[in-house]
């Protein structure tokens, strides 16, 4: 019940100001956000790759309101890619981007987001890595898939994300499960109405398994974004049944969540990629993490009260 309330609060400017300024917030934010600057995130990347993990990097900051901010988002990714070049990690460190941060919701947003994301995809390809387009709320997805298709003409390895809670996703998965595609499947983290999305957790899990089967039986490269032990076991089973080798799909989990499991799956021979978010504009990302697990809210509340 609390999840939708937290997601609604994530859209409130008043709540943003309150939470951002509250004493004790930083301690909880630090669990999910790997740092504020490129300098701070580089050692985190080195630590993960040193343990046999891979990473996908997200510069947080989806709530932009001007084209200048969208250009700054592009530049932040270009700066990051410049630093990664020196580390020589290639495909072990890829990028995750939210098109809203590249201007998608502004006037002329579709073209603006495409124009801003293209140089990032080009720069990533030049150092041997890839970009995955995150899935945001359902109103943005037609534009996201069109941009994905456009980018794939020149950079076929560009990935995208589909969300099991949306009714549309089974059809999207059938279209995307083609040779050369890279698709991350997640449950979905936004507040969506019953007209477009399953609301019941069990229904979402069942839809996840149906979509996962389509991806595993298809010809693309499935990326399983989940911390759910049941779904991870099902993914391993479906991968086996589809005759996939362990490097023909990968698991992905978020930085700060079930970290022991990251290492355990990698030690079993799986590809495990840690979605590593960093930057100063962490509010939207942080609120989604609180909404996913209400126990996080209790921890957050306690931290604010003790420091306050």
Ligand X SMILES: Cc1cc2nc3c(=O)[nH]c(=O)nc-3n(C[C@H](O)[C@H](O)[C@H](O)COP(=O)(O)OP(=O)(O)OC[C@H]3O[C@@H](n4cnc5c(N)ncnc54)[C@H](O)[C@@H]3O)c2cc1C
* Active site (catalytic) residues: 134, 184
- 272: three-class secondary structure by DSSP: strand
Q: Considering only residues 227 through 266, tell me which ones interact with ligand X, judged by CB under 6 A.
A: 227-228, 252-254, 257-258
**208-212, long-range: CB within 8 Å, 24+ apart, which pairs?**
208/164, 209/234, 209/238, 210/170, 211/162, 211/164, 211/169, 211/170, 211/173, 211/185, 212/185, 212/238
Q: Which residue, 85 or 228, has its beta carbon nearer to ligand X?
A: 228
Site for ligand X (CB under 6 A): which residue of 35, 103, 109, 188? 188
Minimum distance between the CB of residue 56 and ligand X, rounded to whole angstroms? Answer: 7
Q: Indicate which single residue of 145, 275, 282, 286 sits in contact with ligand X (rule: CB under 6 A).
A: 275
Q: Which is nearer to ligand X, 195 or 243 (CB)?
A: 195
- Beta-strand runs (E) in 171-220: 182-186
Residue 30: CB minimum distance to ligand X, A: 14
Whose Cβ is closer to ligand X: residue 10's or residue 226's?
226
Q: Give the C-alpha distances (Å, rounded to integers) separating 122 from 3, 62, 91.
A: 37, 21, 14
**For residues 152-181, which are near ligand X according to CB under 6 A?**
161, 163
- Centre a 10 Å sphere on the Cβ of residue 50 and count the other Cβ atoms it contains: 8
Element (H, E) at 170: helix 169-176
Nearer to ligand X, 76 or 290 (CB): 290
Q: How many residues bind ligand X (CB under 6 A)?
A: 23
Q: Does 293 participate in binding ligand X (rule CB under 6 A)? A: yes
Beta strand extents in 148-236 (DSSP E only):
159-163, 182-186, 221-225
Q: Which residues would be at the binding site for ligand X (CB under 6 A)?
A: 134-135, 161, 163, 186-190, 225-228, 252-254, 257-258, 275, 289, 292-293, 296
């Amino acid at each position: 019940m609390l999840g939708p309330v937290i997601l609604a609060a994530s859209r409130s400017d008043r709540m943003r100001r309150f939470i951002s300024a509250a004493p004790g917030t930083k301690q909880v934010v630090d669990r999910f956000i790997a740092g504020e600057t490129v300098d701070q995130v580089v050692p985190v990347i080195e630590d993960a790759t040193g343990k046999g993990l891979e990473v996908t990097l997200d510069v947080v900051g989806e709530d932009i309101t001007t084209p200048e901010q969208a250009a700054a988002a592009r530049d932040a990714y270009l700066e990051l890619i410049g630093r990664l070049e020196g580390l020589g990690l290639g495909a072990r460190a890829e990028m995750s981007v939210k098109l809203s941060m590249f201007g998608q919701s502004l006037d002329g947003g579709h073209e603006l987001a495409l124009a801003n994301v293209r140089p990032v995809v080009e720069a990533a390809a030049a150092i041997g890595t890839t970009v995955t387009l995150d899935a945001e709320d359902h109103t943005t997805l037609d534009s996201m898939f069109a941009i994905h298709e456009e980018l794939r003409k020149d950079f076929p390895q560009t990935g995208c994300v589909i969300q099991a809670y949306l009714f549309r996703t089974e059809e999207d998965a059938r279209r995307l499960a083609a040779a050369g595609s890279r698709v991350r499947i997640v449950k979905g983290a936004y507040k969506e109405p019953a007209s477009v999305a399953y609301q019941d957790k069990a229904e979402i899990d069942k839809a996840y398994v149906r979509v996962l089967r389509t991806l595993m039986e298809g010809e693309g490269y499935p990326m399983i974004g989940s911390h759910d032990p049941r779904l991870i076991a099902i993914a391993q089973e479906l991968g086996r049944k589809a005759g996939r080798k362990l490097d023909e799909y990968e698991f992905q989990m978020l930085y700060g969540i079930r970290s022991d499991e990251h290492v355990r799956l990698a030690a079993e021979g799986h590809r495990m990629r840690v979605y590593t978010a960093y930057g100063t504009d962490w509010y939207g990302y942080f609120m989604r993490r609180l909404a996913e697990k209400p126990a996080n809210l209790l921890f957050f509340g306690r931290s604010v009260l003790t420091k306050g």
